[in-house]
Amino acid sequence: MNVMENIKMAISSLRAHKMRSLLTMLGIIIGVGSVIAVVAIGQGGEAVLKSQFAGEANTLSLFYMPTEEELQANDSRIYEDPFTQEDIELLMTIPEVKKVVASSTTSTNVRFREDQTDSAVVGMNHAYMDVYPLDIKEGRNLIAAEYLSGARVGIMTTNVVEELTGETEAPFVGEIVYVNGQPIEVVGVAEEETGLFSFGAKTIYVPMKTWQTIFAKKTITELSIQTETVDDLQIAGEKATALLNEKYKKEDAYQTLNMEEIAEGIGQVTRIMTIIISSIAGVSLLVGGIGVMNIMLVSVTERTREIGLRMSIGATRGQILFQFLVEAMTLTLIGGLIGIALGTGLSFVVSHFAGWPPLISLPVIIGGVLFSMLIGVVFGMLPANKAASLHPIDALRYE
């Protein structure tokens, strides 16, 4: 007696009582549906959190945490600009690392003819430009050769131009400005950054080498690594800090943001919500399971004579048991599938309002399918066993 026969039989007997079957499934539908929705919404939220830490570009910043002595020694050189060009090359040896983004930032005086202002001066490497592209309004981007040679060229944000000329729309490409007293040719004007932390900041971008020449420093203020995927980020970060700490013989001075820890903190709220909804789902599954058991017991009683007949033509107790188990499982499986469909729909709706994409993952769906089948087996066992232990004659004669 194969499984397909049993499934066909189960479906036909469930179809004979469509309304009853549907009502019985309700608990399973709600239970599985809410679990799917909660997980999908939760995972979607988590992914959003992760990507916010990593930036859209999958980057992770490295930083230097000075020791007590270093802080007391007040030798700011060690920790203000803790990285060097060699560090970049070292980090590039990590397989997961795709790019190393380097930048140094100082605030200084900028002069154009008679006007002057203060502006941030960012020295950056080529990777920086790839990862955080500037929105060029006028002129052009820096080119590879300029990074290599440390050419005296730069890009300004519009607000710097405005400060220096008093006009918003003045053409400025080709002009020479003096940054920290040194001449820089403006090759491009970029839209000012609108990011959360850099909103409205006046910035001049120059090649890293140029920056180092202007300020007579060999060091780099900020390093971050970029990986192919977000998932590699944490491991690449760990490798990077390990390499740097080893190179400089430090305990734990080079660090990265531990995304997991931060995500954990923020995820606390989500988790509490998940627990609440999951327990509602759990109760609903339990009630659903008991409903299935109840309806299966009714079904066994109603079909006592059928069971007797099946036994009289050669069904073993095992086959009868299996038949009713499959029937209970089919019932909960169909309920589970409907639940998965509804849960998916619900998570799309909720996520739409929450503003992040729901993450429907295959393991969750497979889990939902298997779990609803498991409920069928667990709660179908008692009725199926009742059917299988009927005495053929008593069953046949049942009125």
CA–CA dist 133, 143 (Å, integer): 13
Binding-residue pattern over the window 216 to 255 for other proteins, x denoting contact by CB under 8 A: ----------------------------------------
| Interacting residue with other proteins among 209, 217, 317, 386 (CB under 8 A) | 317
- Cβ distance to other proteins smaller for residue 61 or 319: 319
CA distances from 344 to 25, 36, 339, 357, 387 (A): 17, 7, 8, 12, 37
Q: Per CB under 8 A, does 373 bind other proteins?
A: no
Q: Per CB under 8 A, does 19 bind other proteins?
A: no
The stretch among 22-30, 92-100, 311-319, 351-359 that binds other proteins (CB under 8 A) is 311-319
- Cβ distance to other proteins smaller for residue 276 or 393: 393
Length of the chain: 399
- Cβ distance to other proteins smaller for residue 76 or 389: 389
Q: Per CB under 8 A, does 312 bind other proteins?
A: yes
Q: Residue 6 CB, nearest distance to other proteins (Å)? A: 9
Structural contact between residues 231 and 137, judged by C-beta atoms closer than 8 angstroms: no
Structure tokens at 123: 């020295």
- Cβ distance to other proteins smaller for residue 317 or 386: 317
| Interacting residue with other proteins among 318, 352, 361, 366 (CB under 8 A) | 318
Structural contact between residues 65 and 253, judged by C-beta atoms closer than 8 angstroms: yes
Structural contact between residues 373 and 285, judged by C-beta atoms closer than 8 angstroms: no
Q: Per CB under 8 A, does 311 bind other proteins?
A: yes
CA–CA dist 174, 172 (Å, integer): 6
**Residue in this structure with the two tokens 């709220």, named with its chain if needed:** 269
The stretch among 95-103, 110-118, 204-212, 315-323 that binds other proteins (CB under 8 A) is 315-323
Count of residues that bind other proteins according to CB under 8 A: 22
CA–CA dist 264, 257 (Å, integer): 13
Q: Per CB under 8 A, does 105 bind other proteins?
A: no
Q: What SS3 class is residue 60? A: strand
CA–CA dist 245, 254 (Å, integer): 6
Q: Per CB under 8 A, does 302 bind other proteins?
A: no
Q: Residue 336 CB, nearest distance to other proteins (Å)? A: 25
Q: What is the 3-state secondary structure (H, E, C) of 330-374?
A: HHHHHHHHHHHHHHHHHHHHHHHHHCCCCCCCHHHHHHHHHHHHH
Site residues (CB under 8 A) for other proteins?
Answer: 1, 5, 12-13, 16, 305-306, 308-319, 392-393, 396
